[in-house]
Structure 1
Amino acid sequence: MERALVVVTPDERSKRILREAGAFAAGSGAELVVLTILPEKEFEQTRSALAAVNSSDVVYGIDQAVDSASRKAKRLARDALDGIDVEYRVIADIGPEEDTILETARWEACDHLFISGRRRSPAGKLISRDVTQKVMLNFDGPVTVLLADEDEATSKNAASLSA
C-alpha cells in the first residue's frame, strides 16, 4: 500500500476508521488522503437557509462550504491520528458521495480505501444498496469497511434528531 483514501464524516466512527487507517498506513509507510464530502443536497439546504436570513453580510458559496468541511476534517484527523506517525492530507468536496469517492481515489492514485458502513439484514441488502456497497463494488483495490449495526446507526440518528 502506497496511498490510502479514508472517507470521513463528522461522527465517532470516522475517528475509529481514521485511527485504524493511520495505524495500517504507518506500518506500511503509506500516505493517507482524508476525504470529507458535503452532499449537494446538504449544501443547497444550508445555502437556502442562509439566503432566507436576508443578510448581505452572509455569503455561503462552494468555497465557503468546502473551507468549512475541510477545517472540520482537519480537526478530526489531527485528533484521531494524534500519536500515530503517518503523513496525511485532507481533501473536501461537494457532490454525490459514490462518484466523489471513486473519482478522488482515481485522481489521487489511491490503492486502498477505508470507509465506514453499517451492518444490514439480508433483506435490507436486497432492498437498497448504500454508498459503501456501491464503492466496494466499483473500487479497483482493497476496501476496508468499519461496520456499525443498523441499531447503532438508527439509535444515533434518533439521538441526534431528539437533541
Structure 2
Amino acid sequence: MKIGELAKLTGCPVETIRYYEREGLLPEPARTGGNYRHYDSSHVDQLSFIRHCRSLDMTQEEIRILLGLRDRPEADCGTANQLIDEHLHHVEVRIAELQSLRQQLQDLRARCSGTGSSEACGILRELEQPAEPSVVSESCAEAGHLHVPGVHGRH
C-alpha cells in the first residue's frame, strides 16, 4: 500500500509517518519501481503501536525501548514495567505542576473584581511583580528533569 493508504488506515498524517521513518521509529518501506514507498501490514501494526504509545504521551525514547522489547519476545518484561512506572511518575509530577498552576491562576484571578480601569487592575499589578519559582519545578530541576509546560516528547 502507498503512504496515503497507510495514513488513512491508521489515522496518522502522511508527514508524521515520514517523520517516524526519519526518526527510526518506523522502518523504511520497500520502494516500487517508480520510487513510491510500499507499506505492508507490519507497518500498519508498528504505526498503530506507536500511535497508541503517543496517545499515552510517551516520548520517542520510551517508544523505541518498547518497540525493542516487542521485537525481542525473549526479553524480560521488567523493563516495560520500569518504563511505565517512570512514565507514571512523570505524569504525577505534571499533575502536581498543573494543580499548582491552577491555584496560582485562581489566586491571580481573585485579585481583580472585573470592574474598573486597567490601571487599578490587581491582576496586572501582580503580573508586574517578579515570579516566584514553583516548588514542583525546583524539585524537577534537582532530579535532573527539564520541565517545559505542556511538552513531553511531542510528535
TM-score interval w.r.t. the shorter chain? under 0.3
Tell me which protein shows more helix as a share of its residues: 2
Relative to the length of structure 1, the TM-score reads 0.23
Relative to the length of structure 2, the TM-score reads 0.24
Higher relative contact order structure (alpha carbons within 8 Å, sequence separation ≥ 6): 1
Larger Cα-atom Rg: 2
